[in-house]
Structure 1
Amino acid sequence: MSGSARPQASEQVSVHFFSPPSGRESREQTEIRKVIENKCKAERAEFIVRRTELVKVAGGENSGRPFNLVRIEHARDLYEQIHRIPVITMSNIGCFIRRDPSSIPVRKKQLISLEGFVRYKSFFRIFRSPTECVTFIDELGSLKAAYYTTDVHDPRMLPLHIFDAEGNWENLEDVAQLREFRSRFGGGATRFDRCRREWANPKALHGRDILRVNGVEIPMGYHWDVTRKNGDERITTAHEVWKLPGSNSYCNIYPDGYIRPGQGNGKNRSKRVWP
């Protein structure tokens, strides 16, 4: 349902390692990357290097400053894979994901950190020095996201970068923050996102993908029925932009960020508008 993936029966750990563009990696950053690569080889884990791109942002005090951004296709692949196989996310530099991939120029307020992007769904670690890297002795196969969810009704199972394209919910394991989240967006079978669109439990399950997060299996075809209601017509993911033209327009959004258009024809049918 949500794009290509390796065989879902595989339990091989996959490490996605984010590093500066070729030619811009410092000696220390190179050493960090090589230590982690050797650790992956020793533990028979897959090691995938993802090079960031330097992009100058616009607006505010950061205007004109270059940021290390994860490429759009790499953000898509990472989020899809997190829901299929054991994925560990690591980096040797602070980097960010576009919340609106169509935005030109990129604005700092539209970015989410790599850590925030995978929070609750993948173990994350940034290494700042080779010494810190060498002392990292945990077995890769034992690592899971901190405070991960155990079922689909927990808000931590949501693709939070889509549900709330402005917020950073860093402590949803905390009772007070969870209460704040529910107070703002609702709980139970129906929630309203920051743009006032309705996210409801599905009336029927669609799709045959078996998704898993941190070993927790998600019911086959589980998604949220997202209806525009009085909310914004525009939905952004890390790699697409969709439009819900009318108040009754809807789509299905899956835990891995995949969007399935709602049924029906005519001007009110949901549609992808970028790319």
Structure 2
Amino acid sequence: MKKGLTTVNLAALTFGFAFLYMPIAILVFFSFNESRLVNVWGGFSLKWYVELFNDEDLLTAAWISLVLAVCTSTLSVVFGTVAGFVMARFTSFRGRVLFSGMIYAPLVMPEVITGLSLLLLFVAIDWGRGLGTMIIGHTSFCTSYVAVVVQSRLVSFDRSIEEAAQDLGATPLKTFFVITLPVIAPALVSGWLLSFTLSLDNVVTTSFTNGPGWDTLPLKIFSAVKLGVKPEINALSTIMIGIVAIGVVAASILQKRAMVERQRAERMAAASDE
């Protein structure tokens, strides 16, 4: 019975990974296709990568998407960390229920409503739409995801480490940057990567908040699909997959280092208690 369950689990795991990653593998495979038809193999070639770097529209859209995603992720981590810290450490201030509701609302709010409300706001204040309005729109919902991730990490945080640091003479601000921040660094990295992904492939909010000449890569791809997918898009997608893979590896390394720092801090706290 145990062997049968193991076989079933292995089969389910294999099917799940194949379902998730087989389309990506096919996309990467056909990015090296000689033929212009994206689903007909015509031989190995790198010409679509060359064509990609000659396509100024796609490169501009990709650059706008990357800049937008980086700015959104960075701002979301800053605001989300503050919000998560408040929800985890200050549990009885007046208006906390309202504050928590405003943080959680973007998680369940349809993006069409969020995008439309932002569009009406920008029109009402006569703010020209562009990169700035897109950053505001993306940050408005990405911050909520970071806040939830940071709050969950702080709830399980061993505060005796902070108390030990303060007993040794550290100020609250120094304790936060020296003790708390390194310990919750994996949560910050996870929140940054999550925000980056959500911003990079967002279409609905972007379509409401962008302006002329500020089309992102997802908008370009959705427009191109109506006339047929160009092979250059496969090449660009492969490059972006490589960038994301590098980011995941870097995040894993940072998380491992943060774990080592946390264990060191816990040993120091234990030593101070003795």
TM over 0.5, shorter chain: no
When you count helix as a share of all residues, which structure comes out higher?
Answer: 2
TM-score (norm 1): 0.22
When you count strand as a share of all residues, which structure comes out higher?
Answer: 1
Which structure has more relative contact order (CA 8 Å, sep 6+)? It is: 2
